[in-house]
Structure 1
């Protein structure tokens, strides 16, 4: 879906008129109308406000143009429900909710995450633990959090 359709759907899902939506976002009704017609798009600050007020990620508001992955463990972040949150409840689109929550990282070191992965990830081919650990480490080392 394109942003204009997402914004219109978001407004309708919340049973709001364009005027009511505008009041929540402190913009004019005409601005909401132009967004929904694809004439303009909300600015960065308005996107942040939309994200907070309607509990959706900015990536979702933009039509999911980026394929997000957790920069700690590498898990695809295909749905907003998988994304982490900051202490104020806003989305942090760089991490999954299992690696980062309310301003805190779950894994204090890469070794702690490697231990978890080796012990919990399926191993249908019975690869030796040391080889699995090395494979996971190579992958994790490419992620922003572990560089």
Structure 2
């Protein structure tokens, strides 16, 4: 989920901020970003809505 980190940094949002949105820890967000774990489908859709991108973009299936 390197794209998550890219989008997060572009928005100036911290891992802790994203964690608060999803009621998870900053460490959980960090694990998403480095690929050690993944958001569930509901979290993925919510992330896509929050960052105004397609869920397929977040998972790397499309480039736009």
Q: Which runs of 4+ in 1 moved over 4 A?
A: none
CA apart distance, 1:52 = 1.3
- Secondary structure of the structure 2 residue equivalent to 1:63: coil
Determine the structure 2 residue equivalent to 1:40. Answer: 37
Higher radius of gyration, 1 or 2? 1
CA apart distance, 1:24 = 2.0
CA RMSD of aligned residues (A): 1.5
TM-score (norm 1): 0.40
Q: When you count helix as a share of all residues, which structure comes out higher? A: 2
Q: Residues of 1 paired with 2:48 and 2:3: CA distance?
A: 12
User: CA contact under 8 A between 1:25 and 1:50: conserved in structure 2?
Assistant: no
1:9 aligns with 2:11: no
Q: Deviations over 1:95-124 (max 9, x none)?
A: xxxxxxxxxxxxxxxxxxxxxxxxxxxxxx
Looking at both structures, which has the greater relative contact order when contacts are Cα pairs under 8 Å and sequence separation is at least 6?
2
Q: Residues of 1 paired with 2:24 and 2:10: CA distance?
A: 19
Structure 1 gaps, min length 5:
66-77, 80-147
Q: Residues of 1 paired with 2:57 and 2:39: CA distance?
A: 14
Q: When you count strand as a share of all residues, which structure comes out higher? A: 1
Please, which of 18, 21, 30 is the counterpart of residue 15 of structure 2?
18
Q: Residues of 1 paired with 2:50 and 2:33: CA distance?
A: 18
CA apart distance, 1:59 = 0.5
CA apart distance, 1:25 = 2.5
